[in-house]
Chain A
Amino acid sequence: MTVRERDEERAERALVGRAFARLTGRSGEPLDYAMMDDTPVGVLGLAAGPAGLRRITYVKDEDDFLRRLLADFPSRPIERSGALDPVRRELDRYFAGKSLRFDTSVDLSDVSAFQQRVLHELLKVTAGHVTTYTRLAQQAGRPRAARAVGNAMHDNPVPIIVPCHRCLRGDGSLGGYGGGLPAKEWLLKHEGAVLL
């Protein structure tokens, strides 16, 4: 991006910021979003703030995603922009099987401290490997909190990159998944995990 393009984008963002403040009362740092309409696991909505990626959401379509974002962030402007292009490229490479690792930084500040701990443990489980709810509970320091770990998976704001699909039941069965079990199965097979 040239200096001129950057200046223009800044001016355009300022104008949209004014319109948001004036027409909807939303103000402050905007949240950027983008759509991936056509992935092997369905339609994904992405959203990011200055500290990193805050949402990867399985959705029906763009309006569905936006309604959720507007409800989750009731006081902030939300803008579709090119800011998430690098994340989309990373996900494209992942879905194409060219790289199963992610360098995108994630912002987990929307979930509780315990859930953040669980999700950080989960980030250590690399592609092709799986873990269990019980093992994650132990690693997060609350061995009897397997159910709370389940909630942490459920509330994971950035699935795929924070790989909650790699968490299975102790008996090796799939357990649940926010994006639907076929998506979970697709992701695991794509990564070369051996399923029972």
Chain B
Amino acid sequence: MTAHRRAMASDTLALLLAKHGLELARHLRRLVRDDEVTADLLQDTFLRAHGALGGLRPGSNERAWLYRIATNAALNHLRDRARQAAALARHASEVAVAAPVWLDGDQPGGGASETDPRHAAVWARVAGLPERQRLALTLRMSGECAYDEIARRMGGTEAAARANVHQAIKTLRKEFR
């Protein structure tokens, strides 16, 4: 692409962003309730729209068309996330037989063994934790994931992953000590 054509392309993108950026950021943010995800979806939406501009008939409603692209992107994301959560939940029930070795700390590995009588009871209680706490704890303790990986797999921030794990452990400690 020549410098001139590149400049033209980025001007068309800038024009779309100038006209509809704030409005679509608000729309996406309300749908997915997460700024990092919104940032990605917003950029995807405008790139996709720009790539498909030729397909927009002159005189048709550019704004409605962008809303449609953005809404589809958000719904796809939410669907993927639901599917991922379901897969994680299945994984959680499969590993529920593994040892809850972490009641004495929040590091994976070490601690009580599988023969510990508390074992089954603890995992039974894990199943009753709020979903995000249950998933984060399972990934941390059975999947031995680092917090950034938990954040990546569940969607959300590292701080939120850490908070979910800690809250789960706090609840369990209160009940099993």
Contact surface of A with B, Cβ cutoff 8 Å: 8-9, 11-16, 18-20, 22-26, 33, 62-63, 66-67, 69-70, 77-81
Contacts and interface: CB of A to CB of B under 8 A. Distances in A.
Nearest to A12: B25
A158 to B, nearest CB: 20
A183 B55 CA distance: 38
B11 interface: yes
Interface of B: 10-11, 13-15, 17-23, 25-26, 29, 35, 38-39, 42-43, 46-47
A25 B10 contact: yes
Contacts of A80: 18-23
A176 B54 CA distance: 40
B35 A15 contact: yes
Given A12-B29, A15-B38, A62 B19 contact: yes
B11 A15 contact: no
A62 B17 CA distance: 13
A34 to B, nearest CB: 11
Contact of B25 (A15, A66, A70): A15
A63 B25 CA distance: 21
A15 B29 contact: yes
Contact of B17 (A12, A16, A33): A16
Given A23-B13, A62-B19, A63-B15, A12 B43 contact: no
B29 A26 contact: no
Contacts, number: 80
A23 B17 contact: yes
B29 A20 contact: no
Nearest to B26: A12
Contacts of A12: 22, 25-26, 29
B15 A19 contact: no
A24 B22 contact: no
Contacts of B26: 8, 12
B15 A23 contact: no
A79 B10 contact: no
Contacts of B22: 9, 12-13, 16, 79-81
A66 B19 contact: yes
Contact of B47 (A15, A23, A33, A78): A23
A69 B46 CA distance: 20
A78 B43 contact: no
A59 to B, nearest CB: 14
Contacts of A25: 10
19 contacts: A15-B42, A19-B39, A19-B46, A20-B21, A23-B46, A24-B11, A24-B14, A26-B14, A62-B19, A63-B15, A66-B18, A70-B15, A77-B18, A78-B14, A79-B17, A79-B21, A80-B18, A80-B19, A81-B22
A93 B19 CA distance: 26
A20 B17 contact: yes
